[in-house]
Every structure is written in C-alpha cells, then in structure tokens.
Structure 1
Amino acid sequence: MTTVNAEGSFSRNVADLIGRIAYRRIQSDEDRRAIFRLRYECYLREGAIAPNETCLFEDDFDSAPNGSIFGLYIDGVLASSIRVHVATAEVPFAPALAVFGDILGARIAAGETIVDPTRFVVDHELSRLYPGLPYATVRMGMLASEHAEADYALATVRTEHRAFYRRLLFMEPVGEPRLYPNLKNPINLMGVSFPLMRQRVYTRYPFMASTREEQDRLFGSRRFRAPRRDHGAAPVTGEAAAA
C-alpha cells in the first residue's frame, strides 16, 4: 500500500470514529470530577504525578476565565479529555505562559491570539479499542484555533511525544524543556503559526476540519475576529455534530 493510500485509509477511519463521538464542553461538577479522575488515572499510569488521596488531578487553570474543559464520549462513556485556553492581551492566562512566559510574552504583548491545549488524556482501555481516539482528541485544538482565529498554536509535551505533534500539526520545539507545575517530567514547548499550518493539516488530515456550527456549539458564537474564508470542510456528521 502506498503512503498516500495508507494516509487516506487512516483519515477515513478517524473520520468514522469522530462520527461516533460526542464532543462536550464540561460544565457540571459531576462531569468535571469524572474528567479529573480520568486525568489522575492517566498521569499516574505514566508516572507523571504522585498518588494522592482524592484520586483526582486538577489545577488552578481549570477555573481560568479563558479556559474550557472538553470531554469526548463514545456511546455515552467518557473516552478522553482535553483543556483549551485562548490567551490574548486582554486575558493573558494559559499554562504555557506561566512556564514559557519569556518566550510567549512578546507574542501576547504584540496582540497575538495563542491557543494552548493541555491536560490531554485518553482512557487506556478505549485507546486500545479505538487507535484513532488520540487524533480525535487533539482535533479540539484545531477547532479552538479556528474559532479563535489564532495566530499561534501550542503544545506542551514530554520529549517522547514531540514527534507526534511534528508529524500531525507541523509543530517545532521552541526553547529547551522545562519543569512544569505539578508534573514530575520536564515539558517541551512546541509551536507553529496557525495561519501557515492550518491548510496543510486539513489537506493531509481532513478529519481535523470543523464547521462554524460545530465551533460555535462548543465555544459559543462570540468571535474574536471576522471568520476566515471557509476552508471547504465537509459538515461533521453523526453524534459529533448533534451532541
């Protein structure tokens, strides 16, 4: 099988999975606790955190005014989660800014909009059943960047995960790894110009695209800027569009 055919088959498989997934912005205390419990289980399994009595993993950024927590559900079961902060000069709050502020501060001061997805976790058993689940989860960062008209998209990741973001989102490391609050392992900052990256991603991985309707359903109809010209994404079908 050629590389092109393999990528096409992979994209179709992930798109089919996305059709089964309900993307939800988490609001209730019960749902938040379920997310924090999933985080704890995932980070503990990786050896990234120490055990605690609550069996929950949360931090102050979970309550930041510019942050949103999302859960992805398959057949009503929580399968993965990711948190997204949209940082601007007016609301300059994001985990990456707290750690890499000397690198990112100039961008914020210049008026750029930065999207910082963090706390990316996937249920261990469901990830084995659905190999495309991590890609469906990372898609939330693209969706958030599109909605916010982002200038710069980020990922703060462990060293062994850099290749994933380079391959999927064309991101490159920025600076050296640093210690990250509440985590045992050093974290790398990776970034890319979203306007320059977006079409390359949609062309290679069409499942990353989203409609304005889906963006507004998850983030609200308020727009930071005028919408970009439509990138030609087909409407999302299935539960992902209706949930």
Structure 2
Amino acid sequence: MSDTSELVPFRARRAPNPLDPRNNADAFEMRLLLRSSDLSDALRLRHRAYADHGHVPHIDGAEYRDAHDDYPTTALFGAYDGGRLVACMRLCFSMPGNNLASLPCASYYPALAGVAANAPHGFVEVSRLAIEPGIGNTSYRATLYGFMVRAALAAARAAAVSRIVVATRPDWVATYKHLLSFEQIGEPALYPPGNMPITLLSGNLEDASKRAFMRNRFFRVSDGDIADMRHLLAPLLTTPSAPTARRREG
C-alpha cells in the first residue's frame, strides 16, 4: 500500500438542499489515510468531537485512539472540503474465515456471534465517525454525515461483505433503522468513550444499499465508486484478520 493518503474521487452534493440529487455544487473529497500526519489530524479531530460531547476532557492537540486503529484490517478515512479535514471515519473488516476480533464492537456485544452464521462473506464495522465540532451549519453537517455513510456503503460493496454493523448513540438508532433497515443486535452496552448505553445495529449489505437508494438517490453508489474503493482497499482485504499493529507511514 502506498505511503501517501489516497483520494476516493466520488462526490457529495451540498447546498442548498444537501440531499437533493439535482445538486452538483461543491464536493467533499474522501481520502484513505495512510500518512502519520494525516492520521494524527483525524485522531485529533476525533478527540475534539468526543470532547464536544463531553465524553473526554478538552485537551489541546490530544488524539483519541484505541488498539483497533492499528489493526491491519482497519481503514481510516477522512473527508476534506477545500483541503481542510472536516470529518473522519473508521472501517474495520472481518473477512470470511476470520474470527470477530478485528471488529471493535465484538467484545462488547456477545450477541454479534449469533449473527455470524448469516454473514458468510464477513462484516464491516463503521465506527468512530466524527465531524469537526466547530462546524455548526445543520444542513452542511447532514450532508457530510450522509457522504460518510455513502462512502461506507461503497467500501462495504467493494469488499463484498455480507453485513454492516454500527454502534451508535440512542438518538441515531431511528435514522439507521429508517434509512438502511438496520436491526438491533443484543442489548445496548457501554461502548467507549462515552458512559451512555450504545446500541449495536446490523443490516444485510444488499438490503441496506437498496433501502438507502430508494429513500434518497444521494446514496446511489456507482460501479466506478466501487472500483475505486476496491483498488484502495485491496491490500487491506488480503491481510489476515489478526490483532497486529500496523506501522504508520511517515
């Protein structure tokens, strides 16, 4: 894999109605983060977002990270607007034949093991999705959040996994159920970094993609999007799912 962060060239619509597919104004850029400087920027943004929600103390320059950030089957993505990092997201893959240890949620939600039989092609967990807390425009944030979800769908389809899982705050459960037909897995648990019960949701990838597209054409993922993601993720998806630290590039 290259030692420079790579661009995923698909676009998201923004103002004035961010989820209107007729809008083709300015675009976000999604990058797979590989350089140490880019990864640090994303981990600092993540910390700021968690601090803004009261989950961690405000500490200038602090990074929020855990062991799964360094797994070889983890991909960290950043969304950029005009060269400025505005959001980040982590995707963790568990491919066929691997155990679930590469999924951060597995140790907190034992009920996930019961879903594995219905996931012959593996899982991807969407986690640590964070938006720069200084961005206050609600419409902009909604579009950006949707862009990240769309990118996660593209990555999941590129990896050809069976299911997507996401551990989310109580106020987002209804959105995921409505938009992607996700279902709750087990009971809510205290999932770091917060101290509130977090709900684990899961959905069949094909059903989720169709549901999202029917709800809004914004979520259409093209064959080109999938091909771009497949190219970027190829080295990661051929790596054994083991809890081994990945070297951060300079």
Q: Which amino acid aligns with 1:79?
A: V
1:218 correspondence with 2:229 = yes
Paired residue secondary structure (1:33):
helix
Paired residue secondary structure (2:190):
coil
What is the distance in 2 between the residues matched to 1:127 and 1:163? 22
- 1:228 corresponding residue in structure 2: none
Q: In 2 relative to 1, CA 36–206 (structure 1 residues): closer, same or farther, beyond 3 Å?
A: same
Higher share of residues assigned helix: 1
- 2:205 corresponding residue in structure 1: 194
- 2:146 corresponding residue in structure 1: 135
Query: After superposition, what is the alpha-carbon deviation per residue over 1:97-116, rounded to whole angstroms, capped at 9, x for unaligned?
Result: 2221x222244366341111
Tell me if structure 2 keeps the 8 A contact 1:177–1:187.
yes
TM-score w.r.t. length of structure 2: 0.76
Runs of 4+ off more than 6 Å: none
Tell me if structure 1 keeps the 8 A contact 2:52–2:133.
no
TM-score w.r.t. length of structure 1: 0.78
1:155 correspondence with 2:170 = no
- How far apart are residue 166 of structure 1 and its match? 1.8
What is the distance in 1 between the residues matched to 2:93 and 2:42? 20
- 1:6 corresponding residue in structure 2: none
Tell me if structure 1 keeps the 8 A contact 2:21–2:218.
no
Tell me if structure 2 keeps the 8 A contact 1:25–1:218.
no
Query: After superposition, what is the alpha-carbon deviation per residue over 1:17-75, rounded to whole angstroms, capped at 9, x for unaligned?
Result: 6x611110000000000000100000011012244575110111111111100000011
Consecutive unaligned residues in structure 2, runs of 5 or more: 1-16, 238-250
Q: Which amino acid aligns with 2:78?
A: G
Q: In 2 relative to 1, CA 73–54 (structure 1 residues): closer, same or farther, beyond 3 Å?
A: closer
What is the distance in 2 between the residues matched to 1:14 and 1:45? 33
Question: 1:106-125, aligned counterparts within 5 Å?
Answer: 106-108=114-116, 111-125=120-134
Equivalent in 50, 53, 65 of residue 72 of structure 2:
65
Q: In 2 relative to 1, CA 179–14 (structure 1 residues): closer, same or farther, beyond 3 Å?
A: farther
Q: In 2 relative to 1, CA 176–142 (structure 1 residues): closer, same or farther, beyond 3 Å?
A: same
- How far apart are residue 218 of structure 1 and its match? 3.4
Equivalent in 33, 53, 56 of residue 49 of structure 1:
56
What is the distance in 2 between the residues matched to 1:178 and 1:40? 21
What is the distance in 2 between the residues matched to 1:12 and 1:145? 24
- 1:30 corresponding residue in structure 2: 37
- 1:178 corresponding residue in structure 2: 189
- 1:105 corresponding residue in structure 2: 113
- 2:14 corresponding residue in structure 1: none
Equivalent in 185, 206, 212 of residue 217 of structure 2:
206
Tell me if structure 2 keeps the 8 A contact 1:72–1:79.
yes
- 1:81 corresponding residue in structure 2: 88
What is the distance in 2 between the residues matched to 1:14 and 1:189? 33
What is the distance in 2 between the residues matched to 1:154 and 1:216? 22
Paired residue secondary structure (1:136):
helix
What is the distance in 2 between the residues matched to 1:148 and 1:139? 14
Paired residue secondary structure (1:16):
coil
What is the distance in 1 between the residues matched to 2:195 and 2:83? 32
Tell me if structure 2 keeps the 8 A contact 1:25–1:69.
yes
Equivalent in 37, 42, 46 of residue 39 of structure 1:
46
What is the distance in 2 between the residues matched to 1:130 and 1:156? 23
Query: After superposition, what is the alpha-carbon deviation per residue over 1:158-201, rounded to whole angstroms, capped at 9, x for unaligned?
Result: 11221221222221222211011443222110111222232121
What is the distance in 1 between the residues matched to 2:59 and 2:97? 35
User: Alpha carbon RMSD of aligned pairs, Å?
Assistant: 2.5
Q: In 2 relative to 1, CA 52–186 (structure 1 residues): closer, same or farther, beyond 3 Å?
A: farther
Tell me if structure 1 keeps the 8 A contact 2:48–2:58.
no
Q: In 2 relative to 1, CA 108–174 (structure 1 residues): closer, same or farther, beyond 3 Å?
A: closer
- How far apart are residue 216 of structure 1 and its match? 3.5
